[in-house]
Amino acid sequence: MSVAAMPELNLPVFEPGTVWLVGAGPGDPGLLTLHALNALRQADVVVYDALVGPGILEMARPGAERIFAGKRGGKPSPKQPDISRQLVELARAGHRVLRLKGGDPFVFGRGGEEALELAEAGVPFRVVPGISAGIGGLAYAGIPITNRESGQAVTFATGHSATGDVPDAFDWAALARGTHVLVLYMALKHIGTIAARLIDGGRNPDESVAVVANATLPEQRVLTTTLARAAADVAASGIEPPAMIVIGPVVDLHAVLGQGKAQLPW
């Protein structure tokens, strides 16, 4: 479907010399927003992250330049200041620049940093939210992050700091006590340390935990365990990032709702 085929939606025109910070969702191309698709069909340059799959990139306008700007833990990656600077330079050169980020650009996606850089440089930009893996990815795994009986409060947290270590700025005891459901991004590497801190803070060692890897994709994998066994079970399973971790009683619903996977597009 072309942009011209959707005039009744009044989708915005991607002007030259501007940057759109767009969330591509957790992986399934069907979870793109219409604004994201509109951006892909007009952009001159697509600067994309590691978690943006080929099925989404194939929707880009023919002839659009693709620039990889993915950051993966433990591997050589572009530096964030360099990425932000490149967005400014590409826009000043008159390009329609699409900064395509997995999930939502403002949910542990460093989109705020890029938006600030663009604002300070005087470059016009638009932010297009996307479905975060902490919501959409867990839904595909049959885990509702809220449930009237067992999930009335949710906390989203990152599993590593800017240095790659477990965040020390958190009050882990408060996190342990203060929420029914805890959703962790980028936490697989430190699951043992995080689990120990939560247990020390009062969380039940037998509480249910789910690890959802490659969420919303055909290779999606769900590991269910407990807080006390999480580190050992993750190591034994060989499960690898990208993965979300959810802790709380809502995980128990996966046993029933996870069967809905058979009804998904893949």
Confidence at residue 76, expressed as pLDDT on a 0 to 100 scale:
63
Confidence at residue 233, expressed as pLDDT on a 0 to 100 scale:
98
Arithmetic mean of pLDDT, 176-188: 94
Residue ranges of domains in the chain, CATH in brackets:
3-131 (3.40.1010.10), 134-261 (3.30.950.10)
pTM, two decimal places: 0.90
Confidence at residue 264, expressed as pLDDT on a 0 to 100 scale:
56
Confidence at residue 52, expressed as pLDDT on a 0 to 100 scale:
95
pLDDT tens, residue by residue, 69-110: 987 655 667 899 999 999 999 999 999 999 999 999 999 999
Q: Is the pLDDT of residue 138 over 50?
A: yes
Amino acid making up residue 16: P
Least confident of 14-18, 167-171, 195-199, 208-212: 167-171
Arithmetic mean of pLDDT, 195-224: 96
Catalytic residue set: 49, 71, 186
Confidence at residue 163, expressed as pLDDT on a 0 to 100 scale:
77
Arithmetic mean of pLDDT, 29-56: 96
